Every structure is written in C-alpha cells, then in structure tokens.
Structure 1
Amino acid sequence: MTDKPKPFFGVNVINGFKWPPMVRDTNPKQIANLKVREDDVFVLTYPKAGTHWAQELVRNILCKGNKDKVKEDYANSSAGGPIEFGDTCEKFDSLSTEKPRVMMTHVPVDVLPKQVLEGKGKVVFVNRNPKDIAVSYWHFLLETHFLEEYQEWDSFFEAYLKTDMMYGTWFDYNLPYYENHRNKKNFLFLTYEEMKLDHKGCVIRICDFLSRPLSEEQVDKVVENTTFSSMKATKKKFNVTRKGVVGDWKSRFTVAQNERFDAIYNQRMEGSALAKRIIFET
C-alpha cells in the first residue's frame, strides 16, 4: 500500500493579501491595534531574512550571554512563533510586564502595530539579499507544503516575482520600511550579510540600540551562543536554519533567471537608499 500524498495547507487571503494558513482573519487588525509597551522589542523581517538569528541575538543580549538564563526566561519574553500566527498575539498580551517582550513577525508596514510607528517599543529590522531569500524560502516551503506552485523551483521562482506572493514581493515589503522608517529612533536596520561579516559588531550595535551595554566577556558569550553552528545544534524540533551562507542563490538560479531577476531588481531599486546595503556575495 502506498502512502497518500501529503495534502497542501493552502494560504489565507485577507483583504487581497496572502498570508500563511496559520494567520486568522482577525489577526492583522488585532496586531495593528496591539497595545505596545515601552520595552517591547520587535524582530521584524521578510521571511527567511535571518529572523530567528536576530531573535536569538536579542534574547541573548537581554540575558547578558547567559545561556541558562536565556532558556529560563524564554517563557517570560516570548510566546512562540510570529505574532501573526493563531493566538500568539493574545499570548503576548498575557506575558509578565517585568521583562521585555521579544516579538518576532513578518507583517507588512500597514499591519505593524500603530503605536510602533508612533515611536513606542523598538524594532530590530533585518534585511537580506533577495536572491538568497528566494532559495532559502523555497527550501522552507518545500517542507511546510503550503501551495503546489511552491514545490518546484521554477514555479516558485515565478510566484516569488508576483505581487500576490505570500507576504508580498521582497520589494513591496522592504522598500516602504526602509525608505520611510530607516531614520526613526526606534528602528535599527541591519542586513543578514552585515551580521555574517561582522557578527560581533552587530551584537554591539543591537546592545547600543536597546540600551543594554554588555562587558567584553558578555558580548563574546552572546557571539558564541549565536553562531550558526551553535544555534543549529540546539534546535530539537523543526529546524528553521539551513546553510546560513551568503551567495547560495548561485546553487539554484539559472543564468536566464538571474538575468531576469537583475532586470527587475535594477528597475525597482533605482534611486533607493536600500540598494547601497544589499550584498549578493562576499
């Protein structure tokens, strides 16, 4: 007897925008109206841009590099996955006010809590070059099994370029955030490539941004705890980390796909300040 094909979970379309199926119809409005605390930290990224890495950096900094304390305090500073999933937002509302909440999310700018856009809480925003995101996103979606069109690389590549891609296109997501909020005091913009090239320097930048100064020894512990190999070794269930490299797009993009993407990229990024920070290989 052969096993039945694994069913596709589909997506949830809310007001014309594609979300993962775990997002309920009421979640976007609920998030936009979230009551933000002054010490809230939002780790904000387009999918597969280094979300979990940035979250681990923040959590380790708040715990001064003490790995045991990171585990101990996890329940008091986090509520699981992205805040747009299921009842995660309600769980955050119930967390203790004694410790900062660390909230991971991929929501577009029109869904981000209004109070954040007014200057409340802090946002660590991580970007990553869109070609590496495409490959990482595709591998992730192969396992999560949302839509049939995401299962083959060529069909995923086509979907990735469309405005109705889940979470929107890389351009439609990232450009409004960077162009309109990069100079806001409660936003820190980093790139995945910067974090790879200067891990320790980015730890220090996040410390300064969060007003959480650490000793040299504590900074080194944070760096040690958040290397790719260390994080991969501690993941017991579904692993959201894969290769953790810059330039993996070369393993999948055909010459034609690369040329086509470059044409779109050059057109969409013309005149954008963000273009100066995007690195496709090191």
Structure 2
Amino acid sequence: MTDQPKTYQGVNVINGFKWPRHVYDDTPDNIHNFEVREDDVFVLAYIKAGTHWTQELVRNIVCEGNKDNAKEDYGSDPKGPIEFGDNYKKYDSFSTEKPRVMMTHARVDVLPKQVFEGKGKVVFVIRNPKDSAVSCWHFLSERRMLEEYEEWDSCFEASLKADVLYGNWFDFNLPYYENHRDKKNFLFLTYEEMKLDHKGCVVRISDFLSRPLSEEQVDKVVQNTSFSNMKANNRVPFFQLKKEKGERTYALLRKGVIGDWKTRFTVAQNERFDAIYNQRMEGSALAKRIVFET
C-alpha cells in the first residue's frame, strides 16, 4: 500500500500576486473601491503581526473597557480580514451607530483608496520580520497552504521572495511606513512596543481614535486584552470553502513572545537574513523601531 499524496489548500493568484484561496478574483478591486465612513477603523498589518490582538484591543477601547459590551457590539462581526470571502460586503451593510473595526492584510495598492484621502483611521502594526517569518511558518504549515510552506527551511526561502503569499515583509511594510507615517489618520505601532508597553499603547490608540479613557478604563482594556485572556478566548472556525462535518477550530495566538525566531533560524539563515535586512532597510526610518530581542 502506497502513501496517499499530500493535499494542499493552494492559493489564488490575482494579477500575479498570491492571496489565500478565499480571496476571490474581484476582491482586491472591490476592497480598493470600498466606501469608507469617517469613523471607520482599519486594523492593518502583515500576516502574523498581531492583527487579531489589535482588533480586539480597539474594540475594547471603543467600548471603554467593558468586555461584555465589546462582545455584544462586535461578537457577530465577520471573522477574519475584510478581504476574506464576502466579509467586505457584510461590513458595507453594518449600522452607523458604532464604528466599524475592520482588520485587513491589504497591501498599499489594495487598501480602500478613500483612506488615503483622509477618511477613516488606520492602526498599523509592524512585527519584527524574523519573528513574523517563524510565526507565518507555524500558521501556514498547519493550514497546509502550499508544499513550500510545510518545512521551515523551504518556508524561510519563500519568505525572501517577492511572490510569497501576501508579498514579503519588506514589500508590504515599507511602502506604508515610508509614505504614510506622517498622515494624521495613520498610527504606526510595533508589536514589540505593544508587548513591552501594553498600557502605554492602549493610551496611544485611544488618543489617536479621540476616545480618551479613564485610568480605570485603561486598566480594564489591558486586562481584557492580555495575551493569556486572548489566547484562552480567541478560537475561530477553520475557514474552508466547503464546510465539512465537525467544524474545526484553531487558535489564532500561539506564543506571543519577542525573539521566538531563535528557535528556528540557523546561524547561516540569520546571517543571510541580516544581510538582506540591512540592504532593504538602509535609510529607512522604520529601522530604528524594529526590535529583534529583549
């Protein structure tokens, strides 16, 4: 008896760019032309950079630290980024009584164009690229996206290419940071800043959203969005194109630590990555904010 060949979800290639299969051919254009409201909040980040955590944090700020209100107000929102399936259509019909808090991994040429005209606000999170690569590998290998993402060594190689899923870290983050970091409706935070100064970042986000909180409310938001509470309560259905019997769920949060890249990067890989990093980040203002270990 021979082993059955392994099967993979595969990706959807749109205009030469790799998206997950549940991003459809017309989705990037529809996202780019999405009608933005003045009070919209987009939580934007490269994959595995703290997007779900930040979205929950923003929701708790909007609800002034009341986790029951946050669950009631946002518990029925679409799961996953606005570009998944028909999520953007669902948001389009939402009530105007509360701000829409939408997460996305849309690159700069796909994000709703009205955002660049000053409508809505963007909370942008950037995680150091080494930890991001390792976290992406765990995420993509578990979900069997492509064969090249199954083993760490091949996933590392893929992460350096321009045509990796969602594009590589540099091509995604640098155009945003270099061109929009001074825009009034963009707030850039790093994952490491959020880990090392959770409370301070809550205050920064609440000020950015013009939703000042009392000291007690800030403490409640911090407690509600601690890693342990988020990991215990943040499981979502496994997104599949065809529903199977017995719906699987998976945890969105794994370790949430700074420096996990050391568990996977070989010395040779680290030296190679550092050389590419130094070249790509030369002259970038972002380099001063990136932290690889504490």
Q: TM-score, normalised by structure 2?
A: 0.93
Q: For residues 6 and 73 of structure 1, what CA distance do their matches in structure 2 show?
A: 41
How far apart, CA to CA, are the structure 1 residues paired with 2:231 and 2:130?
22
Tell me how far 1:74 sits from its aligned partner. 1.0
Q: Distance in 2 between matches of 1:19 and 1:107?
A: 10
> Which residue pairs with 1:250 in the alignment?
262
SS of match in other structure, 1:190 = strand
Q: CA deviation at 1:144?
A: 1.3
CA distance in 2, matches of 1:97, 1:4: 51
Runs of 5+ unmatched residues, structure 1: none
Identify the structure with the greater helix proportion: 1
Query: After the TM superposition, which residues 63-212 of structure 1 pair with which residues of structure 2 at under 5 Å, given as runs?
Result: 63-75=63-75, 78-212=77-211
> What's the offset of the Cα at 1:48?
0.5
1:24 alignment counterpart: 24
Shift of 1:143: 1.4
Summarize deviations over 1:191-237 as a string: whole Å, max 9, x none.
00000110000000000000001110010000001110010111243
2:238: which partner in 1? Answer: none
AA matched with 1:279: V
SS in 2 for 1:12: strand
* Matched pairs, number: 281
Aligned pairs for 1:205-244 within 5 A = 205-236=204-235, 237-244=249-256
Structure 2 match to 1:268: 280
User: Which residue does the alignment assign to 2:246?
Assistant: none
Instruction: List alignment gaps of at least 5 residues for structure 2.
Output: 236-248
Residue type at the aligned position of 2:110? V
2:239 matched residue in structure 1? none
Are residues 2 and 94 of structure 1, via their aligned partners in 2, closer, same or farther at CA, if it must alter by over 3 Å?
A: farther
Taking structure 1 as the reference length, what is the TM-score of the superposition?
A: 0.97
Task: State the identity %.
Answer: 77
Q: Which secondary structure state, in structure 2, belongs to the residue aligned with residue 95 of structure 1?
A: coil
Question: SS of the counterpart of 1:238?
Answer: strand
- Give the secondary structure class of the aligned counterpart of 2:52: helix
String of CA shifts for 1:229-272, please: whole Å, max 9, x gaps: 01011124311100000000000000000000000000000000
Structure 1 residue 7, shift from structure 2 partner: 2.1
**Distance between the aligned counterparts of 2:102 and 2:198, measured in 1?**
21
What is the RMSD of the two structures over their aligned residues, measured on CA atoms? 1.3
